[in-house]
Structure 1
Amino acid sequence: MTDLRDAAMSSKAWPFEEARRVLKRYQKQAPEKGYVLFQTGYGPSGLPHIGTFGEVARTTMVRRAFEQISDIPTKLICFSDDMDGFRKVPTNLPMQEELKEDLNLPLTKVRDPFGTHAGFAQHNNARLCAFLDSYGFEYEFASATDYYTSGKFDEALLIALERFDKIQEIMLPTLGAERQETYSCFLPVSPKTGHVLQVPTLERNVAKGTIVYQEPDGEKIEIPVTGGNVKMQWKPDWAMRWAALGVDYEMSGKDLIDSVTQSSKICRALGARPPESLSYELFNDEQGQKISKSKGNGLSMEEWLRYAAPESLQYFMYLKPKTAKRLYFDVIPKAVDEYHQQLRAFPGQDLKAQLNNPVYHLHGQDAPQSDMVVPFSMLLNLASASSAEDKDTMWGFIAKYAPEASAETHPNLDQAAGFAVRYFNDFVKPTKTYRAPTDQERAALQDLADALRSEEAALAAIAKKNAAMGNDDALPTADFSDDDFLQSVVFAVGKNHGFEPLRDWFTAIYEVLLGASQGPRFGGFIALYGVAETIALIERALAGELI
């Protein structure tokens, strides 16, 4: 344990760097509340999206890293801002007209357009929790509606009432002149309409714990700030929650940097220390636009899991949180293959390297073994070349390539084969564009087919390439089941036909034979798909049957 802690204290992996910042808060004494509190926030104004999951996954990574360097207990709260007013109807929801009738109600009072829960926020909260539970995250779910109405925030709200002027002094300079005239850090919940009102605070009574405001119909009403009668504005609310709960760490998107700054000032005005924070870059969709719950653009968590195992999504979330990433379907195959590459590397690494390996931050030291003897990208190309409609078809090829593998002994590979068929049919097949070969490419493809017909012809192609390059090395052992030998044959044919740079030859192979601009290491593909099958594929392409 000592060696692990020492290594973790010097690791450059970002979760350990974040964890060490949290630990500095308690160098002199442990927290009075008895634990270090990590928090993630979620606004249930729209369906949960993958960015929400990413925040929980990344915060969990920092929490686990903290537990490697400290014996102080930890807790993670996933907090839902479900008392916010419903300001606009997300375009990706049913019952658009009906939902407009619920505008300005707290999200927990908005009807559930899916008819499964008491309210829209409850539906979204349940979906989020179900997904987080399926990943095995350890967290405590918290509802703003519950915390406000049950009195859990009452003490902090009374302090905010007492220090109202200080909060206003922090917020007003950040607002436009017109907004300054009406801004109040307290949002009354109208006893008449149930709406969350954005109206000025006309009077305050600290001794009674009340405020006075004016209803839209002109009536002045006095209500307590406790018991769920008011909700705080976004930035003061964030600060009040930090102060009330003693939050030690919370990360947020780059678009909230100013909010973090202002909320931190308010938190100090309330007499508490703001948490350590990390501003991460945002996810963009395929058009380069920020993903949004209200737009429903980008990937949903469920969509990712339709095409890949959960661990690949966690791996994607680990990578460079301060770098903007395109989050669309085409990132999935790369994430799957990289995740398994890291799994394969993990057992042979020393402790320092293991702590820097992303899979450590997903699995700890008990990282599973990878059984992906065929990369996911290769499975996709196999599905393409074989027009596979199910994973049984895929296994017909996999079993010849890796006879020791089976669905029972290689469950991840079996699952990936099914994902590959689904991904191919949904995304690759509709966009595949084959082209006819040029004269140079046609001659080279014909030679490649001929070289694959016999070991003698294959060795002759390699010998011809060697002679042209002045290479007098001995020829390799011919073996049509060996990826490297087959790659040498493909390489030699390209050289013999004068492709410069040689990548133009491989691009031609992908575009003519697979209908894509890029593809797998082609020697490995031949070994997987089969030599005879590859010859037949080339012949079909040369006959114009693929176009």
Structure 2
Amino acid sequence: MTTDAEYAMTSNAWPFQEAAKLVKRYSKAPPAKGYVLFETGYGPSGLPHIGTFGEVARTSMVRRALAEISDLPTRLFAFSDDMDGLRKVPGNVPNQEMLTRHLDLPLTKVPDPFEKFESFGHHNNAMLRSFLDQFGFEYEFRSSTECYHAGEFDNALLEVLKHYDAIMAIMLPSLREERQKSYSPFLPVCPRTGKVLQVPILEARPDSGTVLYADPESGETIEVPVTGGQCKLQWKADWAMRWYALNVDYEMSGKDLIDSVKLSSRICQVLGAPPPDGFNYELFLDEDGKKISKSKGNGLTIDDWLTYASPESLSLYMFQSPRKAKRLYFDVIPKAVDEYYGFLERFPGQEKKQQYANPVWHIHAGNPPSEGVPFSFGILLNLAAVVNAEESSVLWGFISRYVPGATAETHPEFDRLVGYAIAYYRDFVKPTKAYRTPTEVERSALNQLAAELRDLDDSATAEEIQNRVYEVGKEYDFENLRDWFQALYEVLLGQSQGPRMGSFIALYGRAETIALIERALAGEDLSVPAA
């Protein structure tokens, strides 16, 4: 008899395929440190964005998949490179002039432009942790500043110093000629200014655990230890050092870091440890098809998505096709919401192997909720548009008629969806609605549709209504039925795309739909409620 773990091991869902790498990694013996370590990295030089969340969400999915197919204990470190120097001022934060005066200081020494936390680094770290906590991720936050200053990296830093020449031989061919002249894996922290210096290292002294450099202002030769937070590593060397020091087993990264992963992996091997497993995901794009950047602040923010849709729908968007570049903008939200509930609805009736491939298994750590929704988010948006909904009670008046006895209290999940629909309608649908006058053929078809709706009795189902809509379209001179439905959307709803009309009419009401058609034929302004 096939066990659940065997079904999971053969699943084509990418988290299980990734988890299988870690089973193979420790096929001969369990990890000496007692657990498999997952890591995600965050550079807090700018505000956290959805891409940051996506890395933690996807890594957590692999971690949960591993728990399903093995007994190996796991931990997840969410690591912040907050000792890095502030090299440029992000364009989407206040107090730009103040930040400019603190360039090159470690991020945990740069004053908080929002004036809420000890530093800019602390502010951005707090934002990251708050969001990860909101989603219920199980993780341990680690700070680069704390690790460096507490001496946690000291032994690893001495190993980097010991292999200084070998690491330089790896890095220099990857750099431009001009950069080769000044590059060093070590960045001294100036004892006078506190800045993270990008200066050439004059001499590396493994025996004393120090490096020498020339002070950029006085020209004086300075000798500093590489330990105790008095030096910071350049990021590719830093990444490799961290893998070595913490014995990281798995870390994924964006496609733009493929070459960096290769270089850091080679450095990690020089230090004497295997690099972690992982994979490179594709980057998210903004509405113009450009890469999302935390310094530019383009694309969606975390709060943007959660204003208009559930955390679960965002997790689904992260799960789907991680190696495919996808636009991450407001118009992808409704589809993600409906796809999530579609997967949720199918889950109980699926066999175990199908459940392991269903995204909701991975979104909910193997235990998806049972409460669904009576109809799609798309239909709810169109209902909000037709009735110009500003309050949830307006929509619930229609919903309770469609689902007898349903209230916000009995259907809390759907009530949450109602709130999202009103917000999305208010900010994106309402400003772009553009009704048009029907053509003569469309007028005739609309008159016929109103007559067909009058002939139906009160017990007519959404499917029966949909069939009548189809039949009317077939009777008139439309090049194809798609043109008929587009006419319904543009004339009655003020948009080029819309819902399944049978379901929408059943929800909105036959009498109300007939009245809507009559108003459109009379040339009334449908953007305002009927008198």
- Normalising by structure 1, we get a TM-score of 0.94
Q: 2: CA distance between counterparts of 1:128 and 1:501?
A: 50
Conservation of the 8 A alpha-carbon contact between 1:36 and 1:73: yes
CA deviations 1:105-145 (Å, max 9, x no partner) are 11111111111100001011011101111111110000000
Conservation of the 8 A alpha-carbon contact between 1:283 and 1:325: yes
Residue 371 of structure 1 deviates from its aligned partner by: 2.7
Q: Corresponding residue for 2:268?
A: 267
Counterparts of 1:420-435 in structure 2 under 5 Å? 420-435=421-436
Conservation of the 8 A alpha-carbon contact between 1:308 and 1:332: yes
Counterparts of 1:316-465 in structure 2 under 5 Å? 316-455=317-456
SS in 2 for 1:287: coil
Q: 2: CA distance between counterparts of 1:2 and 1:266?
A: 43
In the alignment, structure 1 residue 503 sits paired with structure 2 residue 482? yes
Residue 500 of structure 1 deviates from its aligned partner by: 2.5
In the alignment, structure 1 residue 229 sits paired with structure 2 residue 208? no
Q: 1: CA distance between counterparts of 2:460 and 2:405?
A: 14
What is the aligned counterpart of 2:467 among 483, 488, 491? Answer: 488
Conservation of the 8 A alpha-carbon contact between 1:340 and 1:370: no
CA deviations 1:367-421 (Å, max 9, x no partner) are 1113310211111000000001111100011111111321111111111111101
Conservation of the 8 A alpha-carbon contact between 2:344 and 2:360: yes
Which moves more between the two structures, 346-355 or 529-538? Answer: 529-538
Q: Corresponding residue for 2:136?
A: 136
Q: 2: CA distance between counterparts of 1:117 and 1:526?
A: 52
* CA 1:267–1:69: 2 relative to 1, 3 Å: same
Which moves more between the two structures, 360-369 or 413-422? Answer: 360-369
Conservation of the 8 A alpha-carbon contact between 1:315 and 1:335: yes
Give the letter for the 1:168 counterpart. M
Which moves more between the two structures, 85-94 or 534-543? Answer: 534-543
Q: Corresponding residue for 1:51?
A: 51
Q: Corresponding residue for 1:532?
A: 511
CA deviations 1:270-297 (Å, max 9, x no partner) are 1110001210000001111111110111
Give the letter for the 2:177 counterpart. A
RMSD of Structure 2 on Structure 1 (CA)? 1.2
Percent identical residues: 62
Q: Corresponding residue for 2:23?
A: 23
Residue 481 of structure 1 deviates from its aligned partner by: 4.0
Q: Corresponding residue for 1:183?
A: 183
Give the letter for the 1:497 counterpart. Y
Q: Corresponding residue for 2:257?
A: 256
Q: Corresponding residue for 2:283?
A: 282
SS in 2 for 1:40: strand
Q: Corresponding residue for 1:542?
A: 521
Q: 2: CA distance between counterparts of 1:122 and 1:451?
A: 64
Q: 1: CA distance between counterparts of 2:315 and 2:25?
A: 28
Give the letter for the 2:263 counterpart. Q
When the two structures are aligned, how many residues end up with a matched partner? 525
Q: 2: CA distance between counterparts of 1:147 and 1:68?
A: 32
Q: 2: CA distance between counterparts of 1:386 and 1:366?
A: 37
SS in 1 for 2:3: helix
CA deviations 1:467-496 (Å, max 9, x no partner) are xxxxxxxxxxx5554100110111111111
Which moves more between the two structures, 43-52 or 403-412? Answer: 403-412
Q: 2: CA distance between counterparts of 1:8 and 1:142?
A: 31
Q: Corresponding residue for 1:471?
A: none
Q: 1: CA distance between counterparts of 2:313 and 2:460?
A: 30
Residue 98 of structure 1 deviates from its aligned partner by: 1.1
Q: 1: CA distance between counterparts of 2:90 and 2:440?
A: 54
Q: Corresponding residue for 1:11?
A: 11
SS in 1 for 2:380: helix
Q: Corresponding residue for 1:33?
A: 33
Counterparts of 1:55-94 in structure 2 under 5 Å? 55-94=55-94
Q: 2: CA distance between counterparts of 1:480 and 1:436?
A: 32
Residue 366 of structure 1 deviates from its aligned partner by: 2.1
Q: 1: CA distance between counterparts of 2:525 and 2:306?
A: 31
Q: Corresponding residue for 2:529?
A: none
Q: 1: CA distance between counterparts of 2:450 and 2:117?
A: 61
* CA 1:481–1:400: 2 relative to 1, 3 Å: farther
SS in 1 for 2:248: coil
Which moves more between the two structures, 259-268 or 494-503? Answer: 494-503
CA deviations 1:67-101 (Å, max 9, x no partner) are 11111100000000101110111111111111111
Residue 316 of structure 1 deviates from its aligned partner by: 1.1
Q: 2: CA distance between counterparts of 1:29 and 1:365?
A: 27
Residue 537 of structure 1 deviates from its aligned partner by: 1.1
Q: 1: CA distance between counterparts of 2:123 and 2:284?
A: 24
Give the letter for the 1:366 counterpart. N
Q: 2: CA distance between counterparts of 1:21 and 1:149?
A: 34
What is the aligned counterpart of 1:516 among 474, 495, 514? Answer: 495
Q: 2: CA distance between counterparts of 1:487 and 1:30?
A: 59
Conservation of the 8 A alpha-carbon contact between 2:91 and 2:296: yes
- Normalising by structure 2, we get a TM-score of 0.97
In the alignment, structure 1 residue 104 sits paired with structure 2 residue 104? yes
SS in 2 for 1:194: coil
Q: 1: CA distance between counterparts of 2:270 and 2:371?
A: 52
* CA 1:507–1:541: 2 relative to 1, 3 Å: same
Conservation of the 8 A alpha-carbon contact between 2:344 and 2:372: no
Q: 1: CA distance between counterparts of 2:274 and 2:442?
A: 68
Conservation of the 8 A alpha-carbon contact between 2:408 and 2:415: yes
SS in 2 for 1:203: strand
Q: Corresponding residue for 1:472?
A: none
Q: 2: CA distance between counterparts of 1:546 and 1:412?
A: 34
CA deviations 1:245-283 (Å, max 9, x no partner) are 011000000000000000000000111100012100000
SS in 2 for 1:434: coil
SS in 2 for 1:11: coil
SS in 2 for 1:85: coil
Residue ranges of structure 1 left out of the alignment (5+ in a row): 456-477
Q: 1: CA distance between counterparts of 2:105 and 2:516?
A: 61
Q: 2: CA distance between counterparts of 1:176 and 1:350?
A: 55
Q: Corresponding residue for 1:460?
A: none
